[in-house]
Amino acid sequence: MDIKKIKHLKGTLSVPGDKSISHRAVMFGALANGTTKISGFLKGADCLSTIQCFRQMGIDIEEDQSDLLVHGKGLHGLSAPDATLNAGNSGTTTRLISGILAGQDFSCTLTGDSSIQSRPMNRIMRPLLAMGGDITSLKGNGCAPLAIHGKPLHAIDYFSPVSSAQVKSCILLAGMYAEGTTSVTEPVLSRNHTEIMLQYFGANIACSHNTASISPEPHLEAREILVPGDISSAAYFIAAGLLTPNSEILLKNVGINPTRSGLLHVCKNMGADITLLNTNMEGEATADILIRTSSLHGTTISGEIIPSLIDEIPMIAVMAAFADGTTVIKDAQELRVKESDRISVVTENLRRMGADVIPTEDGMIINGGKPLHGAVIDSHLDHRIAMSFAVAGTICDGFLSINGGECVNISYPEFYHDLYFLSK
């Protein structure tokens, strides 16, 4: 994918629906009684993998223009798939579905692409085994493919070593099938879309500080879901709007759930001119985000804020390379087990552009403000790497090209179109 330089960005954009919320809407809709209507569903490859898995388990899902209709069959309505379930590139599909599958009365295997087959699944296997589940890594390496034999489960109180919404959600979903009340406590609260949406569907779920608990056998009722714009997709336009000269863009109806919106705080700390308009804090909070060209400076990002911006760090690192001064990113070792090792891949690609970046075990030190030039970027088929460096390519001097740039279809199929649409 070849990236052209952009002179300015102007106009209004609605980014596609939130990926995390879209996955959950399909999953919980399938386990609810009645038809769940989902508006603003993200039709990216990851969420399509979730749809395919539930279709294979007997759930009728209709695609209607921009809406999705999920004809749920209740908590015990799934049927055994006739073939291996394939989560594609999606960690959310793999880990959340595993929690559901652990409590079924059938067995199946679950796999994914080569990236998924190298990502750690022992983080969900351990708690599921502790609940009485039967889940095995078929290659014995703690990764997919996984064989899951549905079993009667019992509740646990789990203290997760990582702040991961995928781990938390997996356990809470298994908890719906377990005897007793299951709880998950994490070091820092990770994105809480599962808690908010399960409550909305009628589950008995309680949240206090970093702990969520769920009572078994909820009667989930179909609901109407309006998926807000994905702040992780908005991130690329926030960065592009801030870094491109003479720009002013308005991103409509973006999700700003506090467990997801750490990026906005970081941008403010870097000197960004960002205004939130039409803020609505009910349920999944939303706002319109107005972005104007700004002169950015370095900052330190560490500790409790990390889970709320974990997917935005590749974009933040690119912004930091264009900003004046030093940016230090710490406590982000989770980046090493995402779709790619994002610490290594961001470092490698920023260096190709002439940036001064030092990778550390749990983050990066970026000495910003060096003149950045075009380069051939390797996306490692990681959508967030491709989009972060596409933004870099619209600003730097010279020609930038991205190998594997089409992987943006995982979370944002129209990404390149939207980027150039705002530059007209």
184 forms part of the interface with ligand S3P (CB under 6 A): no
- Residue of 46, 288, 311, 378 marked active site: 311
In the list 3, 6, 20, 355, the residue contacting ligand S3P (rule: CB under 6 A) is: 20
In the list 49, 50, 160, 164, the residue contacting ligand S3P (rule: CB under 6 A) is: 164
Distance of CA 86 to the CA centre of its chain: 18
Nearer to ligand S3P, 284 or 311 (CB): 311
d(CA 294, CA 231): 19
Burial class (CB in 10 A: 0-12, 13-18, 19+), 361: exposed
Stretch that binds ligand S3P, among 77-85, 107-115, 149-157, 160-168 (CB under 6 A): 160-168
Q: Residue ranges of the alpha helices (H) in 213-274?
A: 231-243, 262-269
Give least dist CB 191 to ligand S3P, A: 6
Nearer to ligand S3P, 207 or 250 (CB): 207
Helix axes 231-243, 262-269, angle to 10 degrees: 20
List phi, psi (to 5°) of 48. -65, -30
- Answer yes or no: 64 catalytic: no
165 forms part of the interface with ligand S3P (CB under 6 A): yes
Classify residue 194 as left (phi > 0), alpha (psi -120 to 50) or beta.
Answer: alpha
d(CA 95, CA 98): 5
Nearer to ligand S3P, 284 or 334 (CB): 334
> In this structure, are residues 177 and 214 in contact, taking their beta carbons and an 8 Å threshold?
no
315 forms part of the interface with ligand S3P (CB under 6 A): no
253 forms part of the interface with ligand S3P (CB under 6 A): no
Nearer to ligand S3P, 310 or 346 (CB): 310
Give least dist CB 366 to ligand S3P, A: 21
In the list 36, 86, 89, 92, the residue contacting ligand S3P (rule: CB under 6 A) is: 92
Instruction: For Cα atoms 361, 365, 366, give the angle at the middle one, nearest 5 degrees.
Output: 145
Distance of CA 293 to the CA centre of its chain: 26
Is the omega angle on the peptide bond into residue 120 within 30 degrees of 0, that is, cis?
Answer: no
349 forms part of the interface with ligand S3P (CB under 6 A): no
d(CA 144, CA 142): 7
Nearer to ligand S3P, 171 or 396 (CB): 171
Stretch that binds ligand S3P, among 163-171, 243-251, 290-298, 343-351 (CB under 6 A): 163-171
Give least dist CB 167 to ligand S3P, A: 6
- Which 3 state secondary structure label does DSSP give 55? helix
Binders of ligand S3P: how many residues, by CB under 6 A? 12
First to last CA, the chain: 19
Stretch that binds ligand S3P, among 165-173, 233-241, 256-264, 367-375 (CB under 6 A): 165-173
Give least dist CB 312 to ligand S3P, A: 10
| Residues in 187-216 that interact with ligand S3P by CB under 6 A | 190-191
18 forms part of the interface with ligand S3P (CB under 6 A): no
Burial class (CB in 10 A: 0-12, 13-18, 19+), 83: exposed
DSSP assignment of 76-117, as one string? Answer: T-----SS-EE-TT-HHHHHHHHHHHHTSSSEEEEE--TTGG
Stretch that binds ligand S3P, among 159-167, 196-204, 369-377, 413-421 (CB under 6 A): 159-167
Stretch that binds ligand S3P, among 149-157, 158-166, 233-241, 265-273 (CB under 6 A): 158-166
Question: Which residues of the chain form contacts with ligand S3P (CB under 6 A)?
Answer: 20, 91-92, 164-166, 169, 190-191, 310-311, 334
Q: What residues are annotated to the active site?
A: 311
